[in-house]
Amino acid sequence: MEDNNKISRRQVVAGLGATLAAAAVSPTFAASGIRPAADGPAKISDPTKLYPKPPFKSQPQPWPGLQSKMEPVPDCGETSYKGSGRLMGRKALITGGDSGIGRAAAIAYAREGADVAINYYPTEEQDAQEVIALIKKEGRKGIAIPGDLRSEDFCKQLVQKTVDGLGGLDIIVNNAGRQQSIVSIADVSTEEFDATMKTNIYAPFWIIKAALPHLPAGSAIIGTTSEQAYDPSPDLYAYAQTKAATMNYVKSLAKQLGPKGIRVNGVAPGPVWTALQISGGAQPEKQQMFGSWTMLARPGQPTELASIYVQLAAADASFATGQIYGSSGGVGLP
């Protein structure tokens, strides 16, 4: 009887996907993106050998950068992420959804059954259209909404266009971020400081405020914070402050919206290979050795965080709110 109970518990856990381990890249799921495979063992891989290691070539781009021109191109799960229907029928808005972590979340959400609207800066149209094509390939609605998040009016329009285009909204991923590496505070201009604050802090405020009347109970809001919130680099004076503020608004808003049935959580990545680094977000020497200081001796790839964003949005994470989920290769906090 005891053995039978153990088997039953394992089956329940596997069916619900209630842990991040079960929600990872999921090689046991069929290529259809929404149906689990009936046979075949789960594969395991050595994480130190999965992805490229530094040194990387110096490759500066103008802000905000295109990941399609990076070497190596970040892996956002375009060919690897397999879904299992965990977000079937959900409707998501993802800022910074053209590249990096936002792109990985958008691909994963579509393969889990969600319709997705992505926002991005207008110069990132090339990368954005690749994401929209991948979303539509899964048979889901994909809406591209370019614009500058530093504008309150645009943030309001972004929410309304998402609601109109998707027929509702119940997942918000505030992921877009501005990161510029400047060695001395004496060289941080008021214009740069203002642009960072508006992109990283004002925009989520404007978006959440505009979206609240549309969010039903059961909705999820996810903010992308960073290891920089806990262990700031000296050259990321402005950016690191915004990530500490993101961590704080997640915890504050979770208390405010919990009684309404709306969960608010955050993800705190460590060094992840994205266009942030090559478009002014890191000093050249740090960009070339990016991620070498982690326990895995490499940076993370966006796809390695996708399952966390899925987990935090999924209904079976119903008791997770006010939490910060870390993914940093063994460095930083939490």
pLDDT at residue 18 in the model = 38
* Nearest in space to 92 (alpha carbons), one of 84, 104, 79: 104
pLDDT at residue 243 in the model = 98
pLDDT at residue 43 in the model = 84
Q: Could you count the other beta carbons within 10 Å of the beta carbon of residue 233?
A: 14
- 95's torsion region: left (phi>0), alpha (psi -120 to 50) or beta? beta
pLDDT at residue 38 in the model = 45
69-75+83-327 placed in CATH 3.40.50.720: yes
Domain boundaries of the chain, sorted by first residue: 69-75+83-327
pLDDT at residue 42 in the model = 78
String of DSSP letters for 242-282: HHHHHHHHHHHHHHHHGGGT-EEEEEEE-SB-SHHIIIIIS
* Nearest in space to 35 (alpha carbons), one of 85, 105, 86: 85
Rounded Cα–Cα distance for residues 197 and 78 (Å): 31
Burial letters 39-58, b for 16+ CB under 10 A, else e: eeeeeeeeeeebbebbebee
> Chain centroid to CA 214: how far?
22
Q: Are 167 and 91 within 8 A, CB to CB?
A: yes
SS3 222: strand
Rounded Cα–Cα distance for residues 230 and 224 (Å): 14
pLDDT at residue 41 in the model = 80
* Nearest in space to 99 (alpha carbons), one of 274, 263, 318: 274
Catalytic machinery residues = 239
Burial class (CB in 10 A: 0-12, 13-18, 19+), 318: exposed
> Tens of pLDDT along the chain (334 residues)?
334 443 343 343 344 343 333 333 333 333 333 444 445 787 899 999 999 999 999 999 999 999 999 999 999 999 999 999 999 999 999 999 999 999 999 999 999 999 999 999 999 999 999 999 999 999 999 999 999 999 999 999 999 999 999 999 999 999 999 999 999 999 999 999 999 999 999 999 999 999 999 999 999 999 999 999 999 999 999 999 999 999 999 999 999 999 999 999 999 999 999 999 999 999 999 999 999 999 999 999 999 999 999 999 999 999 999 999 999 999 877 7
SS3 158: helix
Rounded Cα–Cα distance for residues 120 and 250 (Å): 22
Rounded Cα–Cα distance for residues 159 and 307 (Å): 24
pLDDT at residue 33 in the model = 39
Tell me the residue type at 292. S
SS3 160: helix
Rounded Cα–Cα distance for residues 246 and 205 (Å): 10
Identify the bridge partners of residue 263 per DSSP, sorted by sequence position: 220
Rounded Cα–Cα distance for residues 43 and 310 (Å): 20
Rounded Cα–Cα distance for residues 91 and 108 (Å): 13
pLDDT at residue 312 in the model = 98
Rounded Cα–Cα distance for residues 123 and 147 (Å): 9
